[in-house]
Amino acid sequence: MTQQDGTAIGIEVTGDGAYSISVGRDLLGGVAETLGERVNKVLIVHTSTVGRLAEELRTELQRDFAQVLLAEVPDAESAKRVEVAAFCWKLLGQADFTRSDAIIGLGGGAVTDLAGFVAATWLRGVRLLQIPTTVLGMVDAAVGGKTGINTAEGKNLVGAFYAPHAVICDTGLLETLARNEILAGFAEVAKYGFIAEPEILETIERDVDRATDPTTPEFLRLIELSIAVKARVVSEDFREGGLREILNYGHTLGHAIEHAERYQWRHGVAVSIGMVYAAELGRMAGQLPDAVVDRHRSVLGALGLPLSYPAGRWPGLLATMQRDKKARAGMLRFIVLDDIAKPRVLAGVDESVLQFAYQEIAA
């Protein structure tokens, strides 16, 4: 991490398609420069919840670029549909967007996943600038180059690995974000604590209110620590050949819960339950100590996140998990911990053990 000009921290993702993630406040004045001179036209993909911000950004960018268009898309998970991607492709086609033009994803993780997918697929790839406006987008969705949409069969089943040109995380944009959205984002922050960075867990345990208040130094530190873990992993394994799978901690069951809830639940909320399940599995099928399992419940509980799910839902969840991207030849794979910051893949576990672990989180 390098301090840039006193206001922004720069975190680098290295390897093919290297890019920089800036974290700080009042950073949107630098968007035009970040996009670069070769860009001619810009499409800003956003939802109505950040509509005013999108308008302001458009006005600002019109000084530097020939054409700046807005694509307002449906809110939250409804944005991650092929029909919405097609709507964006249509706008790009009608405005004659070429490979020297650019797309901005401005919004939560759902918007940045969609905008990233549209950028990856339009003309097989145009410049992408991600400007996340949620905690979850800043620490996770917008910063790692995984893009995608859902299908009727499951979550993120269509997508591409596509590196952004840059990511700008302006924490001032979080001022309008609802408290429950901040806490949902903290599920992914806690995930980094469990898989890699104990300081994150200690900071939440010390004072959860300060940790989750976007105006405190503790909050900023947690955002930076989280992005740093993600950047380290993505730099080493952009296309998820191995190491990157650890970022899916809690997601095998989490994605199945999102599917079961018809995507009406927030991603982080589902992942919270998924992490408690993964911890129980790590205890039963691995060697995770009881105290660490308890710590999952205390940290996630302190964040006000759910820890259990109805007992009768197991058969449906199991069927959905078989379609998880980590599954190989019908064999389910989970990320479990041997201890804090010691993640590994667990594969080929007997279904009875999977169900037994589920009983521990069943409401």
Ligand X SMILES: NC(=O)c1ccc[n+]([C@@H]2O[C@H](COP(=O)([O-])OP(=O)(O)OC[C@H]3O[C@@H](n4cnc5c(N)ncnc54)[C@H](O)[C@@H]3O)[C@@H](O)[C@H]2O)c1
Q: Is 81 among the residues that bind ligand X (CB under 6 A)? A: no
Q: Is 184 among the residues that bind ligand X (CB under 6 A)? A: yes
Q: Are 208 and 352 in contact (CB under 8 A)?
A: no
Q: Please list every residue from 284 through 343 that binds ligand LNCXM5UN, using CB under 6 A.
A: 325
Q: Is the dihedral of CA 159, 160, 161, 166 positive or negative?
A: negative
Nearer to ligand X (CB atom), residue 141 or residue 279: 141
Concerning whether 191 is annotated as a catalytic residue, the answer is: no
Distances (CA, A) of 250 to 25, 120, 232, 274, 324: 31, 27, 19, 4, 12
Q: Report how far Cα 105 is from the mean position of its chain's Cα atoms.
A: 13
Q: Are 138 and 201 in contact (CB under 8 A)?
A: no
Tokens in use for 325?
């991207």
Residue 346: HSE in the Cβ half-sphere, 13 Å Cα cutoff = 26
Determine the interface stretch with ligand LNCXM5UN among 177-185, 201-209, 243-251, 288-296 (rule: CB under 6 A).
Answer: 243-251
Concerning whether 165 is annotated as a catalytic residue, the answer is: no
Number of helical (H) and strand (E) elements in the chain, helices listed first: 14, 12
Which of 261, 351, 263 has the alpha carbon at shortest distance from 310? 261
Concerning whether 259 is annotated as a catalytic residue, the answer is: no
Q: Is 41 among the residues that bind ligand X (CB under 6 A)? A: no
Tokens in use for 280?
């129980």
Q: Is 41 among the residues that bind ligand LNCXM5UN (CB under 6 A)? A: no
- State which of residues 22, 156, 203, 212 lies at the interface with ligand LNCXM5UN (CB under 6 A): 156
Q: Which does 244 bind (CB under 5 to 8 A by kind): ligand X, ligand LNCXM5UN, none?
A: ligand LNCXM5UN
Concerning whether 146 is annotated as a catalytic residue, the answer is: yes
Instruction: Please state whether beta strands 342-347 and 67-72 pair in parallel, antiparallel, or not at all (unpaired).
Output: unpaired
Q: Are 288 and 346 in contact (CB under 8 A)?
A: no
Q: Is 31 among the residues that bind ligand X (CB under 6 A)? A: no
Q: Which does 275 bind (CB under 5 to 8 A by kind): ligand LNCXM5UN, ligand X, none?
A: none
- State which of residues 28, 70, 73, 76 lies at the interface with ligand X (CB under 6 A): 76
Q: Are 318 and 354 in contact (CB under 8 A)?
A: yes
Concerning whether 46 is annotated as a catalytic residue, the answer is: no
Q: Is 266 among the residues that bind ligand LNCXM5UN (CB under 6 A)? A: no
Nearer to ligand LNCXM5UN (CB atom), residue 103 or residue 139: 139
Which of 151, 171, 177 has the alpha carbon at shortest distance from 223? 171
Instruction: Please state whether beta strands 166-170 and 127-132 pair in parallel, antiparallel, or not at all (unpaired).
Output: parallel
Q: Is 224 among the residues that bind ligand LNCXM5UN (CB under 6 A)? A: no
Q: CB-based contacts of 258: which residues, under 8 Å, 6+ apart?
A: 77, 155, 265, 267, 270
Task: Judge whether 325 is annotated as a binding position.
Answer: no
Q: Total binding residues for ligand LNCXM5UN by CB under 6 A? A: 11
- State which of residues 104, 173, 276, 317 lies at the interface with ligand X (CB under 6 A): 173
Task: Judge whether 146 is annotated as a binding position.
Answer: yes
Q: Report the length, in residues, of the chain.
A: 363
- State which of residues 191, 266, 325, 326 lies at the interface with ligand X (CB under 6 A): 266
Tokens in use for 227?
């992005």
- How far apart CA 82 and CA 34 sit, in angstroms, is 29
Task: Judge whether 115 is annotated as a binding position.
Answer: no
Concerning whether 244 is annotated as a catalytic residue, the answer is: yes
Nearer to ligand X (CB atom), residue 192 or residue 277: 192
* Interaction site with ligand LNCXM5UN (CB under 6 A): 140, 144, 146, 156, 188, 240, 244, 247-248, 251, 325
Write out the catalytic residue numbers.
124, 146, 188, 230, 240, 244, 248, 251, 255, 267
* Interaction site with ligand X (CB under 6 A): 47, 49-50, 75-77, 80, 107-111, 113, 133-134, 136-137, 140-141, 144, 146, 156, 173-174, 176-177, 181, 184-185, 266-268
